Structure 1
Amino acid sequence: MASASLAMYDFCEPVRQANDALWRIIRDDLTKAGFSAPSKLDRSSRYDALWRREDLVFAQTCGYPYIKQLRGHVRLVGVPIYRFPGGNGIDRASLVIVRDADGIGGIEDLRNRRVAVNDPMSNSGMNLLRALIAPQAIAGRFFSKVSFTGGHLMSLADVLAGHADVAAIDSVTFGLLAAHSPDALKGVKVLMQTPAGPGLPIISRKDATDAEVSVVRESLSRIATQPAYAAIREPLGLVGFEVPDQAAYDALTELEDFALRRGYPVIN
Structure 2
Amino acid sequence: MHRMPTLSLPMYDINHQATLGLTSALTTLLQQRGVPAEVSWPQDLLPHWRDDQLLLSQTCGYPLVELLPDVQLVGTFLSSAQGCDGQRYRSWLVVRSADENLTLSDFRGRRAVCNSNDSHSGFNSLRYVIAPLAQDGKFFSATRFSGSHRQSLAALRAGEADIAAIDCITWALLRRNFPQELAGLEIIGETPLCAALPLITSAKTGAATLEKLRSALSELTSEKRYQDLLAESLISGFNVSDRAFYDEVREWKDRAAALGVTAL
1:10 to 8, 13, 22: 13
1:94 touches 1:169 (CA, 8 Å); kept in 2?
Answer: yes
Partner of 1:165: 162
Partner of 2:219: 222
User: Is 1:53 aligned to 2:51, yes or no?
Assistant: yes
State how far apart, in whole Å, the 1-side matches of 2:75 and 2:30 are.
16
Between 1:46-55 and 1:56-65, the stretch displaced more is: 46-55
Q: What aligned pairs does 1:86-101 form with structure 2 within 5 A after superposition?
A: 86-101=83-98
Amino acid in structure 2 at the alignment position of 1:141: K
Please list the CA deviations of residues 112-161 of structure 1 after superposition, one character each: whole Å capped at 9, or x if unmatched.
11000110111000111111000000110100111111111111000000
User: Is 1:106 aligned to 2:103, yes or no?
Assistant: yes
1:214 is displaced (CA, Å) by 1.5
CA RMSD of aligned residues (A): 1.3
User: Is 1:23 aligned to 2:20, yes or no?
Assistant: no
State how far apart, in whole Å, the 2-side matches of 1:34 and 1:64 are.
32
Q: What aligned pairs does 1:245-256 form with structure 2 within 5 A after superposition?
A: 245-256=242-253
2:13 touches 2:19 (CA, 8 Å); kept in 1?
Answer: yes
Partner of 1:235: 232
2:100 touches 2:187 (CA, 8 Å); kept in 1?
Answer: no
TM-score (norm 2): 0.95
Q: What aligned pairs does 1:165-204 form with structure 2 within 5 A after superposition?
A: 165-204=162-201
In structure 1, the residue corresponding to 2:67 is in which secondary structure?
A: helix
State how far apart, in whole Å, the 1-side matches of 2:175 and 2:33 are.
38
User: Is 1:208 aligned to 2:205, yes or no?
Assistant: yes
2:26 touches 2:220 (CA, 8 Å); kept in 1?
Answer: no
Partner of 2:132: 135
In structure 2, the residue corresponding to 1:147 is in which secondary structure?
A: strand
Unaligned residue ranges in structure 2 (runs of 5+): none
In structure 1, the residue corresponding to 2:46 is in which secondary structure?
A: coil
Q: Alignment identity in percent?
A: 35
Amino acid in structure 2 at the alignment position of 1:97: V
Size of the aligned set, in residue pairs, is 261
